[in-house]
Structure 1
């Protein structure tokens, strides 16, 4: 994503710790850690490149709000495909042991890493965003 072409979404109160930048065919999401020390990795989103996303349960409402803000942009609407959307994300799976909610789907860029890793930022293709928002919203019971 070129920096000059990126659209920065100003954070709203509902987005909480999340920020987003949109450009090209994807959005980059960032979640600021609550603490800046060796324990920050426990609260960061987790990505299994090209395979899934894990988000602390308390951060889900902010991510859903950030997805909604991205979906309001003209870049999102220009990326929409005219054919019917096929689901690309799994149903959210909460893990009570670590307090995260996991969804399998095309998050991040596929690479050779295995397993979920803490990240400060991750990408989601604009064409894959609607299904993720629907699934997370349903999980939250809204």
Structure 2
């Protein structure tokens, strides 16, 4: 008898939401790197910014590691026959190639920093809405501002 494992419900009860399956996808069915934007209240906005910041930081670290590995690998390529090339020259040539990877990693890290700045700007610009106040009776609001620590 063959095992039939349903990976869509592994670790969850049937009917429970699956955040991975509900994640947005790119063309071709690949999962998106960022969470789906759902900006209905300030708490969701904060969570999206934080999740995006964490993913960008991780991506930046991976890019820095890849650049270091590529630098090491390219620095070990022997000189072409008939040329004299010292180890330091080979390393310099490798750094010339991989500096673009390192620059990309720094740019991604700047994106993570921008997420923090976005939240700070939101708190500064919407300070009046974030302050505790009585809610008016009736009326429909599109964006529910939630104070930090609950409603």
Provide TM-score, normalisation by structure 2: 0.27
Q: Which has the higher contact order (CA 8 A, sep 6+)?
A: 1
| Higher normalized helix content (fraction of residues) | 2
Provide TM-score, normalisation by structure 1: 0.28
